[in-house]
Structure formats: structure tokens, C-alpha cells
Amino acid sequence: MIARRAVPVAALLAASTVAHAQSGEPKDTSPALRAAVAAYQAGDLVGAETSLRTLAPRDGDAAAWLGAILLERGASGEGLRLIQQAADAGSAEGAHRLALVFAYGEGGSPRDAAKAFQWFQRAAEKGHQRAQLNLGTLYLRGQGVPRDLIEARAWLEKAAAKGDPHALYALGRAMSESMGPVAADATRATDLYRQAAEKGHPLAALRLGLALGDGIGVKHDVTAAQRWLLHAQASGIPEAALALGDMAARTPRSRDKATNEKALQSAIAWYEVAARAGVPSAQFKLANAYLAGAGVARDTAQAQLWYGRAARQGVTQAQNALGILLIGGAAGAPDPIEGYKWLLLAERGGHPESRTVREKTMGQMPDLDRKRAEDLARRFSPTAERPLDKAPPRLNPPKP
């Protein structure tokens, strides 16, 4: 049996990272700077730098944008100096750019979430839309400031007031969460996801598809859910393939065995798309399928391979399954040291069965092997296959 939602859809469902510069019309710039900023956002660093160097001596915002370009091409000293001077002179763009320096540790500067928050706040209070979005995101995540859902929603409402899709999505995330007396508003959240998705935000399309598929904040509609999930998947969001696999796996059982097998094979096909793209939950579910021979031919070697990829990304259930396979040698020669390591990590992650298996194994291991396994577990650090991209996702409006 394929595990359903055994691991939550993770990374890309979290609140988006703080945004550098959103695609499309540069709303936070004066008319005099828009051509240069648009050139920068289009990748024309030389043309943008040439224009901004002319404007920078008398325009703090231009100096800040020029500083950003210089940081990007490695001229950190001059870039940081221009951004700091612009921020100190009261430029909203300078304050926002300086906040980004502290948020990401750019130009060799140490990361400092508290300083990033302070500079985002200065820029946001001057009406800087991207700073409002980033400030709301920090309040939502509790980074650089205590988590505060009320403040998060307030700043994200300001950022989303003119319909920016990135802000609409972030506000939807804030509305979908609850904290103390502040309740979630699933209906509002789903409506915000819809607005952002219609403007091309791929993560909003994913969230909207999930809401439609589960009937959360909106009427249950499998057809519409699949349409939005397919659009998200085609827009570069592999978690949507995982969600499509889950939808296929939840298809009501039919009396026709061929129909049931077709639905299962569809689920496995989608899990494989997501797994190959590095989604750990999909890797775990694909491994389950290979181990059980559900929808695919039974193949313990393939199961071990996919459990291994998920385990290295920190999936506790995969670590437990991998440990058992390695100790038993189900897919080759037994490897009790590696198996013990994974069981120990799964136990530390809260898996309910790992301790029993590990203790049984411990009684059959030489002390030297056990200590080696414990040392490996101590030095283990989960490694994501898909590094977090600090840039906002590329917009891809659906075709009419």
C-alpha cells in the first residue's frame, strides 16, 4: 500500500524567502530609474550600471541599485559603500538593499536577521512595497523579531494592496496560519492564492490546487485542482507532481481491477517525476512502491536507492526503512554500521519503531562497529537536493 501523505509537502509550501527584486514593472522606483532597473532585472548589468552611474551622485535610490549591481558582479567594497551611504541618507531603496545584505550575508558581510529586520522596517515605513513584503515575511517566520501573525498580516496587506502576486501569495500563507487567538481564514487564504495564481505565481497555483483537491476554503473540485497542479508542475514546481500523485492514489476504489491499477500507476508516475526532481516525500513514496511492488515491479534495490535519497534529506521514515534494509541486506550485502546509523537517526527523529530494531541490532554488533555508527550519526547533517533559491519564483500566467 502506498503511504498517503506520510510526509508533508515541505520546502516550497513554506513562506517564500525575502525578495530581492520581483519580475515585471519595478513598482518601487521613480520614473527616472525605471529604465535602468528594468535593464538590471532583464540581465543587462552593463547597460543598467552605465545609466545608474550617471544618476547615482544625485539620487540615493540610484546609488542603492548601483550598489546591488556591483555586489552581483563581485565589486563588494564599492557596492556595500554605496548601499550604506544611500541607506544612511534616507533612501528607501538603500534601506531595503542594506536589509538584504544582512539577510543573506552579501558582500562578505555576516548574516544578521535582527539588523535585516530593522532596515526592512525603515524601508517599509517609507512605503517600499518589497520591504513591506519582506518585513511581513520576517514577522510570519519569526526571524530577527518575535513571530507575530498580526503584524505579519498587517504588513503583507500593505504589500498586496496593489495586487502584486508575490505579496498576495505571502498574505495567503499568513491567512492560512493561526497563532494563539488569531485564527486561520482558509476562505480568504484560498481566494488570495487564486488571485496570485491567476497572475502567474506558481506556488500559489500549487496551494490553490491543494485547496481545491481537499475542499479547504473552497468547494471541492478535483478537475480544477488537477488543472492548477498541472500548471504549477509545468511552471517548475515539482511538489505539484507529488500532489498529483497523491490525488491519483486517493482515487476511490473501483470494482474494475484494471481501473484501480491504472490509477495506481498514474500515482507512481507522478511520484517518480517529483522524486527525480529531488522532492523527498515523493522519493519516500516511490521507495514504498518499489518495496511493495505496488504499481511497479517489486525491486528492493530501487527501494533502497530512493529511501537513501530521502533519508539523506532528513526524512525520518525513510531513514528507518533504509536502516532495516541495510541491516538485513535485502538489496545486497548487509551493512550493519550504516543500517545502525540510519536507525539511530530515525529514532532521534521520533520514529516509533526504530529503537526496538536498533537495540536488537546493537546486541549483535562489536562495540567498535557500534561506536563507528554512532560517530557517523553524530556527524550527519541533512542535505537538500534542491537548494533554496533566494529569488522569487518566475511568474507564469496560465493561458486563457
- Phi-psi bin for 106: left (phi > 0), alpha (psi -120 to 50), beta? beta
Q: What residue type is 261 in one-letter code?
A: E
Provide CATH 1.25.40.10 ranges for the chain. Answer: 12-184, 248-379
CATH architecture, range 12-184: Alpha Horseshoe (1.25)
Residue 103 CA, distance from chain mean position:
17
Stretches in the chain below the pLDDT threshold 50? 1-16, 23-25
pTM, to two decimals: 0.89
Structure confidence at residue 107 (pLDDT): 93
- Residue 390 cell numbers, joined: 533566494
Q: How far apart are CA 261 and CA 357, in angstroms?
A: 33
Q: What residue type is 38 in one-letter code?
A: A
Q: How far apart are CA 93 and CA 98, in angstroms?
A: 8
- Residue 279 cell numbers, joined: 522532492
Sole residue written with cell 484501480: 260
- Residue 197 cell numbers, joined: 495564481
- Is 12 in contact with 383 (CB distance < 8 Å)? no
Nearest to 76 by CA among 102, 108, 100: 108
- Is 36 in contact with 65 (CB distance < 8 Å)? yes
Structure confidence at residue 43 (pLDDT): 87
Q: How far apart are CA 375 and CA 377, in angstroms?
A: 5
Quick one: 73 exposed, middle or buried, by C-beta within 10 A (0-12, 13-18, 19+)? exposed
Q: What residue type is 283 in one-letter code?
A: Q
Structure confidence at residue 29 (pLDDT): 80
Q: How far apart are CA 280 and CA 274, in angstroms?
A: 8
- Residue 155 cell numbers, joined: 504588513
Non-local (6+) Cβ contacts of 9 within 8 A are 210, 239, 242, 243, 281
The domain 248-379 having CATH identifier 1.25.40.10: the answer here is yes
Q: Rg (Cα) of the chain, in Å, rounded?
A: 25
The full DSSP string for 4-43 is SSSS---GGGSPPPPPS--SSS-TTS-HHHHHHHHHHHTT
Structure confidence at residue 400 (pLDDT): 81
